[in-house]
Amino acid sequence: MTTIAKVEAREILDSRGLPTVEVALETGKGAKVIASVPSGASTGKNEAHELRDGEKRFGGKGVRRAVENINGEIARALTGASAKDAGEVGSGDAEGKEFDQRSLDVALIALDGTPDKSRLGANAILAVSLAFARAAATETDAGTGKLGVPLYSYSNTLANQSIAADARFASLGQIAPSLPTPSFNVLNGGKHADSGLSIQEFMLVPQRGTTTERIEVAAACIAKLRDNLHARGLSIGVGDEGGFAPKIGSNEDALDALVAAIIGAGYTTDEVKIAIDAAASSFFQEGKYVLSAQQALSSAELARWYEGLLTKYPIFSLEDPFAEDDWDAFAEFAKKVDGRALVVGDDLLTTNVARMQIAAEKHAVTSALIKPNQIGTVSETIDAVLFARAQGWVPFASHRSGETGDTAIVDIAVGLGCTYLKAGSLARGERVVKYNRLLEIADELVA
Ligand code: 2PG
Ligand code: MG
């Protein structure tokens, strides 16, 4: 159990230069950590609510209200400080309440009191939840003398505790930390770039080797892709997730460019495969999927188009192939391509067990994207991963398009045994820092 001596939030900037929430948290035993939260651009409408100020500064995107909620109400509730201490930011009495991760998250959810965390802000709540996880992991347990552990070990312990305590997850057995296969977003489209591509993400996924080897393979393919784009007179500037954002023409041209890069770098399309995030809600307009000015397709036509892509290209995973409420299209497609490609739900599921329950009943997906800030606490993120695993779905952890230097998502992916992790391309500090953390954990796990 951990007591919180101090919790103090600040407004910082994310990788798009937009405000986000950072929290410094200090425990009763003196562990001091910071954590910050990311922010999406192509957000699902069922995501937990990111509280923004709506004032002139930063085009309405300031997060001072979320920060104030932490420094006022949340700090008072967690540190045990009384309301009269309100003037003193985040400081509480040393006899503060004791929490474990689950009771902390339950307390935050109850304090907020809304179904979508809109009163205090999911950005405020997740920042505190993540900071607590990092602090509790770091802390040495005075009772047992047990030394602090890395965040991935702590996440793993929490997951196994949930498996033991929750009948929904009883089928799972204990899980061990494991290294996710990295998925590198090398061409950016949709809302992440002005490349003109309707498909949001084109990812390369090296299929074999150690984490280091997979990163080396990705680096070689990315270098080849850069050379090829440059030789064609196309831009090698990057989009929000560090992938290139050339005005390449069509989605098929983008896929051809990926295959050419794989082959040009000396690999086969068995060794390096492609994953796509269509983020189809972003091109769903008035009942049609507008792939380009010439292509406005029905769900059934779009499904046929994807099937054509699966035949022609080494695509093994399709995320959000349809809009977030097009359940039937998902279900039909998941059935049709089962065994050939993963159908990953992101905006469809929003890391929310209630949405996942519907997907399970409809057999709408075979994989779940996992983003802590879609749901807003560490405990609920763990529940989502375990729920996905209990359905036999592939858990696919993900960063957001607006990121900070925080690497918690990597530890969570490892601790919960996620099969894949997408963290952008090998460019932009906020992306690279995730892969560097993965390398660090890889070293620790084999040591
Ligand atoms: C997605 C994400 C992350 P965003 O759609 O999967 O790549 O994008 O954070 O903009 O929602
Ligand atoms: Mg997505």
Domains of the chain: residue spans and CATH: 2-148 (3.30.390.10), 171-446 (3.20.20.120)
Average pLDDT in the 7-33 region? 97
Q: Which ligand is nearest to the CA of 399?
A: 1
Write out pLDDT tens, residues 150-170: 999 999 999 999 999 999 999
CA distance 408 to 368: 19
* Ligand 1 atom nearest residue 240's Cα: 10
Q: Which residue has the tokens 């192939």?
A: 321
What's the half-sphere exposure (Cβ side, CA atoms, 13 Å) at 172?
27
Residue 143 reports pLDDT greater than 70: no
Lowest mean pLDDT among 79-83, 176-180, 426-430: 79-83
* Ligand 1 atom nearest residue 40's Cα: 9
Average pLDDT in the 57-74 region? 98
For a mutational test of ligand 1's pocket, the pick from 400, 420, 428, 434, i.e. the residue with the most ligand atoms closer than 8 A to its C-beta, is 400
Residue 336 reports pLDDT greater than 80: yes
How far apart are the two ends of the chain, measured CA to CA in Å?
29
CA distance 439 to 421: 13
pLDDT of residue 86: 43
| Catalytically annotated residues | 241, 371
Q: Which residue has the tokens 């509480």?
A: 92
Burial class from Cβ neighbours inside 10 Å (0-12, 13-18, 19+) for residue 73 reads middle
pLDDT of residue 188: 95
Average pLDDT in the 26-40 region? 95
The sign of the torsion formed by the CA atoms of 58, 64, 65, 69 equals positive
Q: Which ligand is nearest to the CA of 185?
A: 1
The sign of the torsion formed by the CA atoms of 305, 310, 311, 315 equals positive
Alpha-carbon separation of residue 44 from 39, 162, 178, 275, 367 (angstroms): 12, 27, 28, 20, 17
CA distance 279 to 298: 16
pLDDT of residue 97: 86
For the CA atoms of 235, 239, 242, 248, the dihedral, rounded to the nearest 10 degrees, stands at -40
pTM: 0.96
Write out pLDDT tens, residues 398-423: 999 999 999 999 999 999 999 999 99
Give percent of the chain with pLDDT exceeding 90. Answer: 92
pLDDT of residue 407: 98
In eight-state DSSP terms, residue 47 is: S
Write out pLDDT tens, residues 244-259: 999 999 999 999 999 9
Reported as a pLDDT band with limits 50, 70 and 90, residue 140 is low
Residue 85 reports pLDDT greater than 70: no
The rounded mean pLDDT for the chain is 95
Token output for 24: 């410094």
Question: If you take atom 4 of ligand 1, which residue's CA is the nearest one?
Answer: 40
Report the separation in Å between the CA atom of 277 and the middle of ligand 1, taken as the mean of its atom positions. 8
CA distance 424 to 76: 37
Write out pLDDT tens, residues 266-308: 999 999 999 999 999 999 999 999 999 999 999 999 999 999 9
For a mutational test of ligand 1's pocket, the pick from 346, 365, 422, i.e. the residue with the most ligand atoms closer than 8 A to its C-beta, is 346
pLDDT of residue 42: 93
For a mutational test of ligand 1's pocket, the pick from 350, 371, 409, 431, i.e. the residue with the most ligand atoms closer than 8 A to its C-beta, is 371
Phi-psi region of 306 (alpha: psi -120 to 50; beta: other; left: phi over 0): alpha
CA distance 319 to 220: 25
Q: In what order do the strands lie in the sheet with 295-297?
A: 284-285, 288-292, 295-297
CA distance 441 to 423: 15
Report the separation in Å between the CA atom of 260 and the middle of ligand 2, taken as the mean of its atom positions. 25
Report the separation in Å between the CA atom of 278 and the middle of ligand 1, taken as the mean of its atom positions. 10
Average pLDDT in the 211-225 region? 98
Residue 192 reports pLDDT greater than 70: yes
Pocket of ligand 1 (CB under 6 A): 40-43, 200-201, 241, 277, 279, 346, 398, 400-401
92 touches 80 (CB < 8 A): yes
Report the separation in Å between the CA atom of 90 and the middle of ligand 1, taken as the mean of its atom positions. 32
Token output for 179: 């290294």
Report the separation in Å between the CA atom of 265 and the middle of ligand 2, taken as the mean of its atom positions. 27
Q: Which residue has the tokens 């036999």?
A: 392
Contacts of residue 295, Cβ cutoff 8 Å, sequence gap at least 6 = 305
Report the separation in Å between the CA atom of 423 and the middle of ligand 1, taken as the mean of its atom positions. 10
pLDDT of residue 41: 96
Residue 90 reports pLDDT greater than 70: no
* Ligand 1 atom nearest residue 399's Cα: 3
pLDDT of residue 92: 44
Token output for 22: 């950072």
* Ligand 1 atom nearest residue 369's Cα: 6
Token output for 431: 């992306």
Residue 91 reports pLDDT greater than 60: no
CA distance 429 to 404: 9
* Ligand 1 atom nearest residue 191's Cα: 10
Q: Which ligand is nearest to the CA of 41?
A: 1
